[in-house]
Structure 1
Amino acid sequence: MKSEMESLLKNDTYELVELPKGRKALKNKWVFKLKRDENEQLTKFKARLVVKGFGQKEGIDFDEIFSPVVKMTSIRIILGMAASMDLEVEQLDVKTAFLHGDLEEEIYMEQPEGFEVERKQHMVCKLKKSLYGLKQAPRQWYKKFDSFMVGHGYKRTDADPCVYLQRFTGGNFIILLLYVDDMLIVGKDVSMIRKLKADLSKSFDMKDLGPAKQILGMEITRDRQAKKLWLSQERYVERVLERFNMKEAKSVSSPLGNHFKLSRLSCPTTQVEKDKMAGIPYSSAVGSLMYAMVCTRPDIAHAVGVVSRYLSNPGREHWEAVKWILKYLRGTSKLCLCFGGSEPILEGFTDADLAGDLDNRKSTSAYLFTFSGGAVSWQSKLQKCVALSTTESEYLAANEAGKEMIWLQRFVQELGVKQGNYVVHCDSQSAIHLSKNSMYHPRTKHIDHRYHWIRDAVSKKFFQLRKIHTNKNISDMLTKVVQQQKFEFCRSASGLTHPSI
């Protein structure tokens, strides 16, 4: 607590004043946390002063509050680049990041508990700088950091506003990724990275973490000689299994068993059934699974997508399906997303089922993109309308994949990665024909014009939609439960392997 107060005073965060008539001082509280390193060893006891921002009034205490963070896809793409091109990857952490933001509104806060100034207990803190808990705190910090980076010659990428890039003579460059107060710095020249670190330390209170070992709960392991990098969430998965008492459960070989036929028919209908389910941590478990899926585990995307449809009223069978996914993770917790060992080529795969959702007969669209040998972007999602044929469902899925390809293509080009042709693989020949020809047909005449966007994209050669055999379509595991041999092929082809070091 004393260290936190020293940071506040050093940063000139507030001044004591009389509370103006008609204004209300916001309350605050101390929040305590234990900080651990990548080996789960206790490194720090942390105390943070947090404003109770829920008491703020819009238009008086705040206006705009949105603040971007780096996309998970951007992190994977740049780490893939680092692996293939053998780049340096360094990490920084900003101490008390939100305290650096400059406030634009007039905000008052009560004095921190335990640190009231003697004989001035009646006075309040007029905030000069942003503080944790304020609704606009993340935005003000981002604006401050963005101003620093732009002022030092870095360009904010159009594809991701939290990725900064600067090119130097001799082909050198530096890329910086920002996720609130966590930073990754990627570049060829260590001395240039050190200079950026020094410049950052002059303006912000920084902690140099050296070569990156973990980011957002993902452990980073490298083999520089083989030009490979692995992203793992083994420790996170182990904590999740322990939290839901599944650490000793018998493992299974697939994320979702064929015997599960999940639908709303399994949802509780009586109060007694609902009361029985009330004590089961369904939402918490699905949320934990979802974070693993979003970061490094595309193999559970379909299963997590299915169980997440019943968050509002889960039944016993839905909970059994969640436990099945946890059992699968128990047996595959050591799987890592591997990058490198190949050229940084962007390649896409798209697929769809037909009427797989038993409740409304909607189909599931899926895509998966690989870069530098590993999956960087994936999605498994119910379509917004009911498809009447496999051609239609595959066509709708190809549209979603095409939109993602346009963004990914723009991003890698901004990073300086050149590629001849961009290809999205699709296993439906009829959907490919429909994307190339504006033909009229009784079975396709009803398709809404918004889904014909892909025709324009293909005709302008933004990317190619190319036929692939269904046995080689690795996005197939994102649309349905597939046979074990096919599932293991898809999982391996997406870059999910055991580390070889």
Structure 2
Amino acid sequence: MPCLDNSQDKNNDNLDITFNKVEDNQQGEENEEELGTEFPENTNSDGLNDYLLARDRNRRELRIPARYNDFHIALNIEPNEPSSVEEALKSENSKNWLSAMAEEMKSLKDNNTWVLVPKPKSCSVVDCKWIFKIKEEDTSKRFKARLVAKGFTQKEGIDYTEIFSPVVKYTTVRIILALTAHFNWELKQMDVKTAFLHGDLEENIYMQQPDVFVDKSKPDYVCLLKKSLYMSNAGSPHWEALKWLLKYLNSSANRGLMFSKCAKGVNLTGYVDSNYANDRDSRRSTTSYIFTLCGSCITWKSQLQQIVALSTTEAEYIAATEALKKHFGLKDCK
């Protein structure tokens, strides 16, 4: 059984534990009373206090618990994606990475993403970096390289005034799914070749020339961006939007949309309603509408009206106007 050596200072927290063959527990109890230290009552089968074991064990002998061994296996089979240009050029897949980088640069130049200009003296220059990804396909691997701007070097109000991502509308995706289900089409998911945002910039953004692709005739020039690029480090507005999205997904995880064939053919149907003065603070009404195509829901909306309606009839007219505006944008789907 263990016994405590109380030859040290009573206020010292580092206690030496020794083992002997004494079978009586009275000696250990007396030593604890003399020290005046209270320990948890949990003890193991040998009478050794679990608190003392956890506190005084040798830190050099710590090992990862056996339940985490699977993570080592997953780490070994994970594709080796370089984190920098130097790693990509030194890897065994250097030719594939160079080809992916050249393809990305060709696409950016074809879209007139930037023009080379002399470096201004009074403006800060945003740095850029390459991000490398390996996408597993059915029979092969696809190497992708993306050029992004280092977002943490940009300041809101100076380098940009808003964040945006002009991608495809979800209504368009749902329309395609509804038509596919109705006509029993074959649907395949395809990925874009170039990660590029077609947004025009209002501010003057200067960026360093990408590594490996520096213009040898103009090595001191910088890129004046004409189009927006992805940022490698998101700002606080991005994280707030992500938090809102995760909350929404968490609350709607058990809900979904059903797309099936409609017996009535390709018909666009809309339903609209309003809730008069349901907001207690502003007394504004709520506009709600939903549109279905081939019996499948493709778009919906429920939000407060921008003005205060003075009657239920006025609230209904405002809601009907919003629904008609949406209908005119969807009427070509028939």
TM-score (norm 1): 0.34
Structure with bigger helix share is: 1
Instruction: Decide which structure has the larger Cα Rg and report it.
Output: 2
TM-score (norm 2): 0.48
